[in-house]
Structure 1
Amino acid sequence: MSLKHIADRDDVFARRYVYDDEEVLVADLGVGNDATVDVLDDAAIVVFEDDDEARQIELQLPESGAEAFITNGVLTIEVGL
């Protein structure tokens, strides 16, 4: 799944912002506080529990590098342009 795919979904509240030097994706995943996100090479891996079952989402990122974090179930990914 790409940043554009998640921003275009109807079941996830998400916004995508493009600035001169970075692109920012903010998505309310509704996953609670136990979710984690790690950036590995060109992917952000989000791990969370849903109905007591571990789930994982992998988001493809551009190769320019990214930072990602989750606060109160809201995923933020910042990608330098």
Structure 2
Amino acid sequence: MASRLKRSESPDADLWPILEAAARYDDGAAARSHLDAGRPIYYGEKDTPPGLVVKEYPDGRRELVRFDHMGEHRVRDAA
């Protein structure tokens, strides 16, 4: 997706609508490509607890993880 960001006081304010639009119209091709290449993907669902993301492995296994300045931390298996 090619878009130009408008100049504003906060460049981040212009970036969020672009990211949200890209997420809404995602067809899953990039995620499938990562899984097919043997790499995990990260995403959130409506019931994902705040501050956590789902990490899905190519074999279908899923975990809830969180990130901080020290890196990624496994919290528990995802249902």
**TM-score, normalization by structure 1:** 0.22
More strand by share: 1
The structure with the largest alpha-carbon Rg is 2
More helix by share: 2
**Greater RCO (Cα-Cα under 8 Å, separation 6 or more):** 1
